[in-house]
Amino acid sequence: MASQAWIVAALIISLASPASAQTRTIAQAGGWTAFGGTTERGTPTCGLDAQDANRTRHFLIQFYQGNRHLDVRLIRPHWAIPANTDIPVRIVIDGNAPWSATASGTNREVKWTIPTGPVMARFEAAFRRGNAMRVEFMTGTEPPWTFNLAGTNAIMEAFVTCLRALPAGSAPSQPFDGPRPSAPTQPFSNPPAPARPAPPPGKPLAPLTQT
């Protein structure tokens, strides 16, 4: 099965020698793009992403060689999130049961993980076959993000191929709780507590779980 191939490919990838930072587009379908290459630190990576027409909302799934999970990242240039803010999020694809996570937000980015195993397999299957995906912010005033899933089966195939090819081995909206300016939407409800210290190196983010 394709989902099993994705999981196996991710699990068998080991660390490789650093290389020059470079990513390139390997496929495009619908509003989605698959890419591959290396990070600025030379870590091989594969990913897929979509942005709205104005490039103000960016949804990205990315694998870094050596990990046993996928990173999910939401990026919006107007956000200004206090460091390490907990942000409950939920993903709904068509009529499937939602996937939930407590993401970590900092500056303009919200991030969480999809672990390998059944959760990843179910998400991939729904993502490939789905018509629409909605990302919901459970607190604050940031409205849901909606993405058309046309082309995602082809994009996922390109993503899996990238994994296999890795060496073996006005006022802006904000997604955090805090004082409300008069105009912008925010995905939070209460003033944030003092910023928590950054988690120790290597501590995983809270994973996406199906509810």
Tell me: pLDDT of 22 over 60.
yes
Q: Look up residue 185 and give its DSSP letter.
A: -
Nearest to 31 by CA among 151, 129, 157: 151
What single letter denotes the amino acid at residue 70? Answer: L
Q: What pLDDT is stored for residue 46 in this prediction? A: 95
Instruction: State the Cα–Cα distance between residues 102 and 106, nearest whole angstrom.
Output: 13
Tell me: pLDDT of 182 over 80.
no
Structure-token pair, residue 140: 């604050």
Model-level pTM?
0.74
What domains, with CATH codes, occur in the chain? 2-169 (2.60.40.1880)
Which band of pLDDT confidence, cut at 50, 70 and 90, is reported for residue 204? very low
Instruction: State the Cα–Cα distance between residues 75 and 38, nearest whole angstrom.
Output: 20
pLDDT one-digit tens code per residue, 37-86: 999 889 999 999 999 888 899 999 999 998 989 999 999 999 999 999 99
pLDDT one-digit tens code per residue, 142-177: 999 999 999 999 999 999 999 988 877 645 565 666
Residue 88's DSSP bridge partners are 102
